[in-house]
Structure 1
Amino acid sequence: MMKLRRVATATAAALIGLGVTAPAAVAGGNYDYATSRTSLSNGYLYTQLSTGSDSSHMNVKDWYNKSGGGTISARFGYSYHSGTHYGSWFSQSSGTTKAAQWSNVYINDCQNVVGFLDVSGQGTFYNAPVTGC
C-alpha cells in the first residue's frame, strides 16, 4: 500500500503545485486512502484495496461491522469493470465483524472497484467506489 500512497501523494503534490485541485480518484476512497465506507442501518460496510504481489495485482477486502438488528445471511462481493465476484455465504449477528478478501486480483488501472454486501431477503448494499490510484 505504501507504493500506492507515494504515487497518489506525488500526483496530488504536482497538481497542487500547478494550482489545480486534485481529482477524487487521487484520494482513492471516501473514508481513507484506498478505503471506502458506507453507513447502513445496522453498521458500516468497508471496502479496501491494498498492494498485491506486483504493480498489476491488488488485494480486495470487504468487511461489515454489524452493530444492531437480527442475524443475517449474507455474502460479500465486488465489481470491477464488467465482472462481478462473490464470496461464500455466512451468518452474522449483531456486535460482530465479518470479512472476505480476494488476494492478487488483476487490477492494473484506475477504474473503480465497488464492494458490496448481498443480504438474503433484503437485497444488495453497495459501497462507495474505491481505487488504488
Structure 2
Amino acid sequence: MRNATRIIGTALTGALLVAAGASQAVAGGNWDYNCSRTSLSNGYLFTCIYTEDINQPDGSSYWKLSDSYKKDRGDTPITAKFGFNYHGYSYEGGWFSQSKGETKDAWFYDLGFNDCSSIVGWLAAQGQSTFHNAPVTIC
C-alpha cells in the first residue's frame, strides 16, 4: 500500500476515547454519502472514502480513504497522526504538526474494502487521546 502501514490488531497505546458527536453511519457516512464528520473541542475530524480508477483482481473497485482535521480553535499546536480501523486491523500514517487555522489530511490508497463493514477513521494526538470518527461504509 502507498502511504499506509498495516498494524495487526489495534495495538494503540493510551486511552481510546470516542469523541462526542460520533454517531452511527447512515447511508455510508453521517456527513455525506461517503463521509463522516465529528466535532472535536478544537475543530472537525473528517473521514471520507472514494473508489479508485483501478480494479482488484476480482473486478471490484479499489478504494482510497482520506482522514482530515480542520483545527479552527485552540492556540496550542498539536502533533498527531491519522489512521483507520477495518475488520480488526489498524492502518496509520505518519506524524505531523498542526496549528490553529490549518487543515491537515492523510490519504490511504489501494484499499480492498469488499463488504458493508464499518470503517472508522481516527486522529491520535500526542499527549492526548485517540479520537474516533463516526463510521463510514462502502454501501
> After TM superposition, is the score higher than 0.5?
yes
Provide closer, same or farther for how the CA distance between residues 71 and 104 of structure 1 changes in structure 2, counting only shifts above 3 A.
Answer: same
Deviation readout 1:57-106 (Å, 9 max, x if unpaired):
21011000000111000000000001001100000000000000001111
Aligned structure 1 segments of 4 or more residues deviating by more than 4 angstroms: none
1:123 and 2:95 correspond: no
Deviation readout 1:5-54 (Å, 9 max, x if unpaired):
xxxxxxxxxxxxxxxxxxx7661000001100000000000000000222
Stretches of structure 2 lacking an aligned partner (at least 5 in a row): 1-23
CA contact (8 A) 2:36 2:136 kept: yes
Q: What displacement does 1:56 show?
A: 3.9
RCO greater where, 1 or 2, for CA within 8 Å and sep 6 or more? Answer: 2
- In the aligned structure 2, how far is the partner of 1:48 from the partner of 1:90? 19
Q: Which has the larger radius of gyration?
A: 1
1:132 and 2:131 correspond: no
1:97 and 2:96 correspond: no
TM-score computed with the length of structure 2 as normaliser: 0.76
CA RMSD of aligned residues (A): 1.3
- In the aligned structure 2, how far is the partner of 1:62 from the partner of 1:132? 15
Stretches of structure 1 lacking an aligned partner (at least 5 in a row): 1-23
Between the two proteins, the alignment pairs up a number of residues equal to 110
AA of the residue aligned to 1:35 = C
TM-score computed with the length of structure 1 as normaliser: 0.79
Match of 2:29 in 1: 29
Higher fraction of helix: 1
- In the aligned structure 2, how far is the partner of 1:105 from the partner of 1:28? 16
